[in-house]
């Protein structure tokens, strides 16, 4: 699963890697969350383009998005059959530039966040599917979901699902959905190779979406983890009892 990610590479570096024609100037983001606008690279009229889309896919047949489940991930095993994704995976595939993502693991009864990134430090491209939802008044909303796969044996130590990442050599194959050669992209929907990614524990400050700074991705020590756990424990409430008068034995507030 992928529910938060990071995009910190310089816009010029991402433009060169993904090859889109626009030159957007966007700030680094250290805590991207669902429902926020996120960058998506897509193929349109033979060229790659950069477009902002809402993270949380809305199929075209949804009448009222307020009552529809937020679809931030699409499982690779069922993406070809699920009504919400089966058209998008064939015709509307994209790439989401990123530099890593967060995952939470329960340790000692507490969820510890980890930052996961390529071991070589290079940016990555999440496999994505997208839809343009059209509302009853003609309003349009571009929406997107990240494709996930079962984790490999190393990343499975953190979570049983991982985002599918597409190698730069396969960008064109993933994005090109003009034909109906769906079999060509099936081998791409797999987890990273063992050793391709590395990870380390980070502060629970990442739990709060409002926190969005470079400190979030820094590793923290065992001592800092313990300190955060201690600070998160509920405080004991000390109840004050009324003073007792020595004159009449009745409770008194004075």
Contact call for residues 133 and 58 (beta carbons, < 8 A): yes
| Nearest of 152, 163, 167 to residue 128 by alpha carbon | 163
| The two structure tokens encoding residue 227 | 């300190």
In Å, how far are 103, 151, 168, 171, 223 from 157, measured between CA atoms?
11, 9, 27, 28, 22
Q: Which residues contact 11 (CB under 8 A, 6 or more apart)?
A: 23, 24, 25, 26
Active site residue 226: no
Contact call for residues 5 and 100 (beta carbons, < 8 A): yes
Alpha-carbon distance of 196 to 194, in angstroms, equals 6
Read off the DSSP letter of residue 57. Answer: B
Active site residue 2: yes
Residue written as token pair 């060229």: 47
> Under DSSP, is residue 156 helix (H, G, I), strand (E, B) or coil?
helix
Contact call for residues 146 and 1 (beta carbons, < 8 A): no
Residue in 2, 77, 122, 228 annotated catalytic: 2
Residue in 22, 103, 153, 172 annotated catalytic: 103
Cα-Cα-Cα-Cα torsion 76, 60, 95, 210, nearest 10 degrees, comes to: -100
Alpha-carbon distance of 240 to 231, in angstroms, equals 24
- The residues annotated as belonging to the active site are 2, 103
């Amino acid at each position: 699963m992928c529910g938060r990610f990071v995009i910190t590479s310089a816009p010029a570096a991402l433009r060169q890697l993904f090859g889109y024609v626009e030159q957007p100037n966007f700030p680094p983001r250290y805590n991207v969350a669902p429902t926020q606008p996120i960058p998506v690279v897509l193929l349109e009229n033979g060229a790659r383009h950069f477009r902002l889309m809402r993270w949380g896919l809305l199929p075209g047949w949804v009448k009222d998005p307020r009552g529809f489940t937020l679809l931030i991930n699409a499982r690779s095993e069922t993406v070809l059959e699920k009504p919400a994704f089966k058209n998008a995976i064939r015709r509307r595939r994209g790439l989401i530039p990123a530099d890593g993502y967060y995952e939470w693991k329960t340790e000692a009864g507490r969820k510890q966040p980890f930052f996961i990134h390529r071991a070589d430090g290079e940016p990555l491209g999440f496999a994505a599917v997208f839809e343009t939802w059209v509302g009853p008044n003609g309003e349009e909303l571009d929406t997107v979901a990240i494709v996930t796969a079962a984790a490999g044996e190393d990343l499975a130590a953190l979570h049983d699902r991982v985002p599918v990442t597409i190698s730069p050599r396969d960008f064109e194959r993933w994005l090109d959905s003009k034909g109906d050669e769906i079999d060509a992209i099936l081998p791409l929907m797999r987890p990273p190779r063992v050793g391709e990614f590395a990870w380390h524990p980070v502060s629970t400050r990442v739990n709060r979406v409002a926190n969005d700074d470079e400190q979030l991705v820094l590793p923290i020590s065992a001592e800092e983890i313990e300190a955060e756990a201690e600070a998160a424990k509920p405080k004991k409430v000390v109840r004050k009892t009324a003073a007792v008068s020595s004159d009449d034995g009745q409770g008194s507030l004075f």
